Amino acid sequence: MANVVIIGTQWGDEGKGKVVDLLTERADCVVRFQGGNNAGHTLVVDGKKFILHLIPSGILHPGKVCMIGNGTVIDPAVLIQEIDRLNGHGVAVSPENLVLSRYAHIIMPYHRALDIARENKKGKSKIGTTGRGIGPCYEDKVCRGGIRTHDLFNRKTLRKKLEKNLEEKNFMLGKFFGEEPLDIDAIEEEYLAYGERLAPFADHVSERIDELCRQGRDVLFEGAQGTHLDVDHGTYPYVTSSNTVAGNVCAGAGIGPTRIDRVLGVVKAYTTRVGEGPFPTELRDATGERIQSLGGEYGSTTGRPRRCGWLDMVVVNTSVRLNGLAGLVITKLDVLTGIPVLKVAVGYQCGSRRLNSVPPELDGLEACRPIYEELPGWEEDIGRVRRLGDLPSNTQRYLKAIEEIAGIPLAIVSVGPGRDETIALKDPFDFE
């Protein structure tokens, strides 16, 4: 048995969904441990595209159990829509294969209202949130005023918490933001109905994971967003509202650290970022536009175009350290086909200093200039290649450079969006 964690090494959108979908074939259970429906995983199976926001990517495999841990925040309307949409497309979703933590916090209408109102008020200083209410929900969790999944099953408890919360939220919405107050009765009835629908899926996820571990089963933990959006270790304040690093698996799923066997980091063959924030290797030219177009770099959650740039190994190596990565998974390598010269950032020049890790100060990072290593590109179509040695020599050289700079081995290389467009180098569940 092995417990494997999949983490994004950049600013999210690295292709973790496809990787989790692939590895689910070897796993018995897939667990989501943080974030909310601000994340989106796009998968292509038999030519059909699936976009998942809350349910783990492993749901597309029959006979596998998927769990949503206590570290996530749940918009129940979105979760129910996702369940119904999958069932409508012939993907069976039931309490037999989907488990929702009773401890997971619930996104309420006032969370979404506050999220949008704050962004609007900030104007040009906005963070670039998705407006899904993720941040305000995590705020209530930390302030000990949150509503959890199990609260939706008890009218008296839900009403009491709503009365307390809406007194404050409606004051903020009306007096500070100039928005209309929210109606407590309408919210109560709406969310009790959600509770009825979700009650069969609710259970103690930590206990279920522990049971699987004792049975010697393989468990895969699925991260959302990327390491550099981590609220503690990312490019603060342009970050998400949760811990995206591997260490949060323990808190967000309820598993002890000694039970994690290895962590793999997903690296897009170039770099992208959605929303605001520093981006040292960003390309504001025809090459950046080409990568955006060929890579389909538009947010699966919001549809926003992603900013594109050269691969930044300073960002990746910082993730290697923060997550204790055992191996790398390279995605979207095919998108780089046809670019004559490829650049890889191997360090930052910050005034008279050279940095090999991402600085914590936002001003410091914005002042940094990437130090590039140039590598020759390739023209050959690599989508049909299934062995590393069959890749063009320049493609192999690019991959070798990534491996050497990171100091850890490659485990998987993706050469296209489909399941079969993959070169497997190491089995993450039997990784030496």
Distance, CA of 229 to chain centre: 9
Backbone angles phi, psi at 225, to 5 degrees: 60, -155
User: Is 13 marked active-site?
Assistant: yes
Distance, CA of 200 to chain centre: 26
CA distances from 154 to 100, 268, 271, 355 (A): 17, 44, 46, 54
Question: For residue 45, which of 93, 83, 89, 87 has the smallest C-alpha distance?
Answer: 89
Q: Point out the catalytic residue in the list 21, 41, 151, 218.
A: 41
User: Is 41 marked active-site?
Assistant: yes
Q: Residue 351 carries which side chain, given as an amino acid letter?
A: G
Q: Is 346 strand, coil or helix?
A: strand
Pair of tokens at residue 51: 């976009």
Helical spans, DSSP H, in 133-250 = 134-142, 155-171, 184-198, 205-214, 248-249
Q: Point out the catalytic residue in the list 13, 21, 140, 218.
A: 13
Residue with tokens 């062995």: 387
Q: Which residues pair with 329 in a beta bridge?
A: 266, 412
Residue with tokens 């209309």: 180
Residue with tokens 């991260």: 223
What residues act catalytically? Answer: 13, 41
